[in-house]
Amino acid sequence: MIEAGTPAPDFKLRDQDGADVSLEDLRGQTVVLVFYPLDFSPVCTDQLSIYQELVQDFDQRGVKLYGVSVDSPFAHKAFQERLNLTIPLLADFEPKGAVAKSYGVYNDDYGTSQRALVMIGPDGVVKWSYCSPSALEIPGANLIFDALEPSAA
């Protein structure tokens, strides 16, 4: 898994609306890439629903979340609408898992990303990362908030 202090690998992915989103577009802000296995799976549904409840808290701290999975933009759109998500969802669809691989969080056994969080600073450098020990374990939002504390830097 990618480590703090590493320049974040560049990417350009389509979001749920078909718009391209690149790392360059996100420069100047603190971003958390929320890698998750699949839209509509029970644990992923719970994870993104929890983060959605805290979107305003993340916004107040200057953090923007982006979900990333190997699903298509069309699946992301349906998932976003079903859960009433405002968190943008990025499709690491083709080539499948290329971004997850570049961040060291692709699971070859299942063909999905692992459940992982990567915080990228305004300068494009990884500030913090976390990978769940199991696909069934949701990384709590408290991990993100703790990583934002000055003592974590």
Give CB contacts under 8 A, 24+ apart, made by 56-60.
57/141, 57/145, 58/32, 58/144
pTM: 0.96
How confident is the model at residue 31, as a pLDDT? 98
What are 66-76's pLDDT values in tens digits?
999 999 999 99
Mention every residue, 6+ apart, whose C-beta is less than 8 A from residue 57: 141, 145
Closest CA to 44 of 3, 74, 75, 4: 75
Residue 85 · residue 68 · CB < 8 Å:
no
Q: Is 44 a catalytic residue?
A: yes
pLDDT at 151 over 70: no
Of 44, 89, 141, 147, the active-site residue reads 44
User: Which residues are 116's β-sheet partners?
Assistant: 35, 131
| Domains, the chain, ordered by start | 12-152 (3.40.30.10)
Q: For residue 25, what are its two tokens?
A: 């577009």
The span from the CA of 149 to the CA of 63, in Å, is: 12
Residues in the chain: 153
pLDDT at 78: 98
